[in-house]
Amino acid sequence: SSDLRKSISIKLDRLYNKLSKQEKELIESENAQIYKIKGELITSYIYMIEKGMESVEVSNFYDPEYKNIKISLNTNFTPSENAQKYFKKYNKLKTAKKEITSQMEITKEEIDYLENIMLSIENCENLAELMDIREELGKVGYLRSKNNSKKETKLTTKPHEFVSSNGFKILVGKNNKQNDHLTLKVASNEDIWMHTKNIPGSHVIIKTEGKEVPDETIFEGAMLAAFFSKSKMSSQVPVDYTKKKNVKKPNGAKPGMVIYDTNNTVYVTPTEELVVKLKSKFDN
């Protein structure tokens, strides 16, 4: 698994750098307004400007204090052409902002996905689970796959299984293949679905069997979701939960990626002791 981890780590580093660059570009695009203001001011004070001037200093009536602003001019341009130059720059940056924002969303989604993969690698308990991850990465194009078939292969590995203090079965996916299988095939509409809020982690299912789920079981499920997440070592980890019927997988979404609504959020600090305790209840 070390070569796989290294490969994903390199891809993540590239994506972090890409996001950092996009954030800088976004900040620049957010300064677009100043170019519009300069264009407007040149138009308003056009009677003061002549071709050949390097700059003009005027009162900025867009400023609450009407402070003076110095505007650089192209000496080869007429006043009107200088104004147009600033308007063009404004429009270019405004368009760029939309483009950069949508590109950033794509980069963030890729980062979330690969951070989830790293977590899945750490959760691996045997070779079959590692092969699940390799197969998935081949299908989504991150690794060269010997078997390029898009067809879903049979799930041969099993999720973590626990029993809550109140006797409810809790299932935890170890990788995206298991997460999709649990959420889309195993869980009933009235089962409780849980996941760390905006943090890479496992899908957690509380099997309700038509019964009301006590707060204690919700808390224990949330503890498991936090423990099997990137925030395993953190405190006050936010965990969202909702009925499985509120969870949807968008068309074309990567493995393990879902959207949900009408959720509640609980904050927990995961402990290994509780995980061991709930596991031993299942084993017994």
Residue 170 and residue 194 in contact, taking contact as beta carbons nearer than 8 Å: no
**How far, in Å, are 188, 216, 273, 274 from residue 191 at the CA level?**
5, 16, 25, 22
pLDDT tens-place values along the chain, 284 residues long: 678 889 999 999 999 999 999 999 898 888 888 999 999 999 999 999 999 999 999 999 998 988 999 999 999 999 999 999 999 999 988 888 889 999 999 999 999 999 999 999 988 888 888 888 998 888 888 877 655 455 555 666 889 999 999 999 999 999 999 999 999 999 999 999 999 999 999 999 999 999 999 999 999 999 999 999 999 999 999 999 999 999 999 998 889 999 998 899 999 999 999 989 888 766 65
Residue 139 and residue 88 in contact, taking contact as beta carbons nearer than 8 Å: no
Q: Which helix (H) or strand (E) holds 237?
A: strand 237-243
**How far, in Å, are 4, 12, 13 from residue 7 at the CA level?**
5, 9, 10
Burial of residue 148 (number of CB atoms within 10 Å: 0-12, 13-18, 19+): exposed
For residues 185 and 174, give the distance between their C-alpha atoms in angstroms, rounded to a whole number: 16
- Return the residue matching tokens 């009301």: 212
pTM of the predicted protein model: 0.74
Question: Which two tokens mark 22?
Answer: 């996009």
Residue 247 and residue 258 in contact, taking contact as beta carbons nearer than 8 Å: yes
**How far, in Å, are 149, 219, 225, 226 from residue 231 at the CA level?**
34, 16, 10, 6
